Structures are given as C-alpha cells and as structure tokens.
Chains A and B, each alone.
Chain A
Amino acid sequence: MSAPTTIFRRPEALRDAFTHYCPGCTHGIIHRLVAETLDELGLRERTVGIAPVGCSVLCYNYFNCDMQEAAHGRAPALATGVKRVLPDRIVFTYQGDGDLASIGTAEIIHAANRGEKFTTIFVNNAIYGMTGGQMAPTTMPNQVTTTCPRGRDVNTAGWPIPVADVLAQLRTPAYIERVAVHTPRYTVQAKRAIRQAFQYQAENRCYSFVEVLSTCPTNWGKTPNESVQWLEDVMVPYFKLGLKKSPDRPPVD
C-alpha cells in the first residue's frame, strides 16, 4: 500500500479555527476561496484585509493575514487609507449587503469610482444576518423579514439593488463580476473570479469587485437545502451572474 497523499487541506491563509457561522451558511465557502487565492498567488504575507460589521466581522479570526475591523459600512474608506499609504501591499474588503449596499453605499461607490487598487468581496445574502433578519437593500420583492413583515414592498422599499451592475456603470476601469457558491459548479466559477480579482490588483491594474450570492438559512427560516434551492430559484434569476466589467474591455462611448 502506498503512502497516503494529501489531496485537501486547509489553506495557509486560513487559521485553524472553528467558525461561528450557522450550519449551511456559505460565508465559510467564500472565506476558503479567498484564502486559497491568497495562497496560490503567494500574497498572504503582504495582504491586509478589512472586516465589515455583519456576521463576518469575526473573519479576522479566520483569515491568517493582517486584518483591520471597520465601522459599519466604512471598510472601503479604511481600505483606501491602507492602499494609499502601502501601495505595494494587497488590500481587500469583505462586506455583507447591509454593510456595503446600505450604510456603506457612499464609500463603495466612491472607492470604485476613484479606481482604488483594492479588491472587494461582497457577500449578498439578501438579509441582515447579524442583527437577526431585517430587510437589506438586496432583499427580494415580497421576501418577509422582521422589518418588512408583509414582505418587501417594492413601491416603498424599491427593488433590490444589483450592486455589481450599478458599479459597472461607472466610467472608471474596474473588474466586476457576480458569482454564486451554492453548488460545486458555481463555486468553481466563483473561485476563478476571486482569483482574477486579486490578480488584477497584484498587477496594479484596477479596482476589483466580486459579488457572491450567499445563503442565510437562519434568517431565511429555511433548512440549508431549502436555502440552496431558494437562492437558485429566486436570487439567481434576479441577480444575473457573470462578468459585468473588465479592464480588458474598455467601455464604448
């Protein structure tokens, strides 16, 4: 019998820690994809991550690189500060949809518009997880949350903000893609996009942004399996996956 070979192990960019994420939550998968990327591109030791306020605030306990904790929504501003004083370092923000698309809208638009050379991983789970299931700007029409108990009414709350598509409208060059991680096939695509985002940053090309559709079984009130199905049936048709903008394809006037 030949010696066992390791075919799967924890990336160096992740710490040996139990996460606090609920069963079936895909935050953990997204962490892993980011960590694998940092390993593969050899970036870990020169990376500074910025944690948001949301369920992933504790991601600094899981990523094995330098990390800062921002105030709610302000991660892109902190990242700008870091990147401007340390331009040869790799900087990323990891943000939820309340953090990035609600309270932090101004910061993300302006960071993207200035073309800050950092990377944003945007976790869109259509709800506020940490505070217990309130409406997010990405909450789906008619989706029930604790602050829209009759379901999201698009006449008063508007339609879910498709952040990747909105940012893609900016003239400033950027890499912007929307992906999902609820099946292995989607996860492979997500990994490629996250790697691409960090690659562009490493080449000092442009701002890079990857929106990842994610589950929140706890606050959706669904089992992990139902959550995967709901994400596929309800979120994917609205939040269209794919490349939204690339520095290799400049806008046509």
Chain B
Amino acid sequence: MPKKLMKGNEALGEAAIVAGAQAYFCYPITPQTEIAEYLAKRMPEVGGVFVQAESELAASQMIFGAAAAGARVFTTSSSPGISLMGEAMSYITAAELPAVFINIMRCGPGLGGILPSQGDYLQAVKGAGHGDYKLLVLAPSTIQEAVDLTIEAFRLADKYRNPVMIIGDGLIGQMMEPVDFESCTKPPRLDCSAWATTGCAGREPHIVKTLFLDPNVLEERNRTLKAKYERMTREEIRFETYCCDPPPDLLFAAYGTTARVVRTAVDHLREEGASVGMFRPISVYPFPDDALRQVAHHPAVRNVLVVEMSMGQMLEDVQSALQGRRPLHFYGRGGGNVPAPEELIDEARKLLGNGHGGKR
C-alpha cells in the first residue's frame, strides 16, 4: 500500500486496527470524535467491538472489563473526557492490565475550548487518578509518528501489563499528512491465560481486583509497580535531538506539535548563523532526564528554552532534569493558540544576544 493522505484522528484509528485492537469503547468529544466515527465503520469490518458508551467514565471502565477478560483494548478522548477516565487508569494500573489511552488534548481548564493545547501534560505524566501509579506516556509530533507510537503503545502495554497513553494536541488529530502503514506490524499478543477472566473450566477461578486490605500485601504490589516504572526508565526512554552536534548555545526543549514549530525556528536561526538546537522528548514518562542533561550540561550550552502550549508543565520535568545548572527560560501559549515560528525566533534572539548569531 502506498502512502495515504490521512487525518490524524483517522490514522490513529487505523493504527489501532493494525495493532490488532479487538475492542474500542468511546464517547464523542471534539477534537477527537473522528476516531470514534472512523472506528464505528472500521471495527465491524475487522470483526472488532465498537461501543459508544454513555460517558467517558463508562468507556474507560469498559476497557477495564475487556482488558481483564484478555482482549487487546483501547479508548480515546480529549481533555475533559480524560479527566473522567482517571479512575479507570488507576484501577487498570492497579490490576496490572494492558490498555491504551489516547488523549487528543484541547485547551482548558474547565470546558475551555476545542483548539490545540498541551495542558494535560502533568495530568498524563503525574496521574489523572489516585494512588501510586504511572502510565507510560508517548508524545508524537507527526501523524506518521502518531501511527508508529500507537502501534508501539499496544506492544508496550502488553510488555508491562500497564496502560500506555498517547498524548497529541488537537492539531495531531485534525491535520492530514501522508502515512505509511506498510512497515507497520502487529505486535505479538501477550498470553493472558494465567489471569484473564474467561471462565474457570479446568482451572482455579481467576480474580481481577485492586482491593488489598493487608498493608504488607498492598505494599508489595506498590513495589512491583515501582519496579515496573524503573524498568521503563531503563528501557523505554525515547527522544530526538535536532542540531545538537555540536551542542548549541541555545537549546530548545519541546514536544509534540510545538517541537515542529521549534524545528522551523531553529532552521531559520541557523540560516542566520545562530547556534541553536532542540531536544525533543518522545517518551514523556519516563522522561529522558539523562539524555537531556547530556546535551544541556555541555559547556557550550548557555541557555535552555522550553516551549509549550501551556503555561509551563513539561517545564517542571526539564527543571528537575537540569538541576539548576543552566538558566532555564520558558515560552508558552494558551487558549488554543499555537506559537508561530516568528515568536520563537524573537524569543531566541533575546537569549542569544549580540555576537551569537542574533543579527537583529
């Protein structure tokens, strides 16, 4: 199949099908409703389950049930709906089940608006629900990458028996770009037979639960989860550097669509002779601290500028990674406004100062 021009939302739906998703439960919300609309057609074609639930609360608990029954499952929503899924995220993680959540973020807080945002970063990486739990969180910046990471998300969910979340801003859902499904392969399915609730014929009953009243038993579970997150930190770090060899005077840090805008700004600034580069986290939990430090702590790097479509969320992770050893700056847009390359170029020039390529 040659490349296909697809809207991000539809491509995400198709990616889940390629990954062998067996069941999808959803509730409409802009700007990701096209995923549901696409899968309303596609899931029946591939013999999969499609259910429009009565709410995000229900949709996410439906994937809990289906995951515990051994199916490869996922759901998608946008910010206000993801808030309602926080409960299920906590339970599914506690029960150690694989599942995939996709959040096509819109601007908030509250009902906010429907335009692109990265305002749910902290919710995703720190936790929308209660208790000691983490999701593995991946942040694509192109539609092809969204497709690849979605398929990867299903593999990782199985690998860790832990929910994986994809965060994309509204533009990732609404843009069209060419996508190639040819090189995509379906990740092998986890053997769920040791715990899935499929009927106990010929074996002892399986119980999927998250209530552990004995503190020592529960603490042991907490430790198991912690060990998982430590393993993710060793094995699942993903990032990209752009124009960082040799390390630049000014290092941008950005993810998702914002990273693309930064890329354009970097290209312009370099044409002027400025020494700038970009660090782009792809896995945002686990966050690539070490990798970021390796670039940012190079003596050549004088400033780090974090750019986000929020009032400063990934900023907190960058801050803790840099340990205060480099001056850290922030440029954020909100309300659904996407920063334009020109804004970033202006911001960069202020930091580059004279003699560092800032010509004007």
Contacts and interface: CB of A to CB of B under 8 A. Distances in A.
Interface in B80-125: 80, 110-111
Interface string A40-58: 0000000000000100010
A103 B44 CA distance: 24
Contacts of A53: 111
Nearest to A102: B54
A204 interface: no
Contact of B80 (A72, A102, A128, A150): A72
A71 B83 CA distance: 11
A165 interface: no
B241 interface: no
A137 B28 CA distance: 13
B64 interface: no
B41 A149 contact: yes
A11 B110 CA distance: 31
Contacts of B56: 103
B111 A146 contact: no
A64 B70 CA distance: 54
B37 A103 contact: no
B33 interface: yes
Interface string B8-29: 0000000000000000000111
B28 A71 contact: no
Interface of B: 27-30, 33, 36-37, 40-41, 44, 51-52, 54-57, 80, 110-111
Nearest to A134: B28
B54 A105 contact: yes
A137 B37 contact: no
B52 A71 contact: no
Contact of A132 (B33, B52, B54): B33
Contacts of B52: 134-135, 147-148, 157
A147 B54 CA distance: 13
B33 A131 contact: yes
Given A69-B111, A132-B33, A147-B28, 18 more contacts: A71-B111, A73-B55, A98-B28, A103-B57, A128-B28, A131-B29, A131-B30, A131-B33, A134-B33, A134-B37, A134-B52, A137-B54, A146-B37, A147-B40, A147-B52, A148-B40, A148-B52, A149-B40
A103 B54 contact: yes
14 contacts: A53-B111, A98-B28, A102-B54, A102-B55, A103-B27, A103-B55, A132-B33, A134-B33, A134-B36, A134-B37, A146-B33, A146-B40, A149-B41, A150-B44
Contacts of A73: 55
Nearest to B30: A131
A128 B55 CA distance: 13
